[in-house]
Copies of this chain bind each other. A is one copy, B any other.
Amino acid sequence: MNERLILVTNDDGYDSRGIAAAIEVARRFGRVVVVAPETTQSGMSQAITMYSPLFLRKVRSEEGLDVYAFTGTPVDCVKMAFDYLLRDRRVDLVLSGINHGSNSAVNVLYSGTMGAAIEGSFYGCPSVGLSLTDHSADADFDGAVLYGERILSRVLEGGVQLPLCLNVNVPVGRPEELRGIRLCRQNRGFWREEFFRHEDPRGREYFWLTGDFVNQEPEAEDTDEWALAHGYVSVVPVQTDLTDYAQLRALRSVLG
């Protein structure tokens, strides 16, 4: 049997604690190639780099593991892996993360972690974005590692249909405190920003984004936000047809 090949990426950079945990998960399932950003790319969404050259650097190589740092976005990293480095090889799964911070609800749209996972699914293999709802430097990844392994194992062996892209979020807590996996839909909500304003050393006013998430349906028990608030690991399958079919019908009278 050919050994499996797993591509690991993230948006926090190739040397983050979270990606070390993701590599630990992925290595239990086969050979691992990491192509991840040189620097943090949080909030980079599905962005691609069109107007700058990109540089690739091999950081580490050992039995079963190769690590590359790439100066692009998370999506650039996935493209570099599939369309250049691993061009002639079969990739069995893409694992993006483990992200430092939640990517539930509408965050899926802003997240570089999920941008990379979505991009991975465009290459015809299962793709999993894995995030821990904890931004702190000393976050405990044990729960995310345990559930990451469980989910990868089932995806790799369970006869899933393609395309498959999963947005997995793990709440804070010791593994034994987590209440299990919950399949969910994406929670409806949006961010409202409070721009932090200050003056730089030269007296120029600057703005810094800081916002609050507004949950439009806190009571809905089938959403990822509800699952996370109640101690479950949320799993939202993600697709990329953004067509609003209800509007498509409604608009016939306006624009048709």
Residues of A within 8 A of B (CB): 40, 42-51, 53-56, 72, 75-76, 79-80, 83-84, 106, 108-110, 112, 115, 118, 122-123, 151, 154-155, 158-161, 164-165, 167, 181, 183, 185-186, 188, 190-195, 198, 200, 204-209, 211, 235-248, 250-256
Contact flag A247-B49 (CB < 8 Å), given A122-B190, A193-B79, A240-B106:
no
Interface residues of A, dominant DSSP: mixed
Q: Are B208 and A115 touching (Cβ within 8 A)?
A: no
This chain: how many copies in the complex?
2
Chain B: minimal CB distance from A175 (Å) = 17
A106 to B240 CA separation, bound complex (whole angstroms): 8
Contact flag A248-B237 (CB < 8 Å), given A54-B207, A254-B160:
yes
Complex contacts, A205 vs chain B, CB 8 Å = 55-56
Q: Are B252 and A161 touching (Cβ within 8 A)?
A: no
A133 to B50 CA separation, bound complex (whole angstroms): 17
* Chain B residue at minimal CB-CB distance from A111: B46
20 contacts between A and B (CB under 8 A): A44-B45, A45-B47, A48-B209, A53-B208, A55-B207, A79-B191, A84-B195, A106-B240, A123-B190, A151-B255, A158-B253, A159-B254, A161-B250, A181-B255, A185-B243, A188-B241, A238-B242, A238-B244, A239-B246, A240-B242
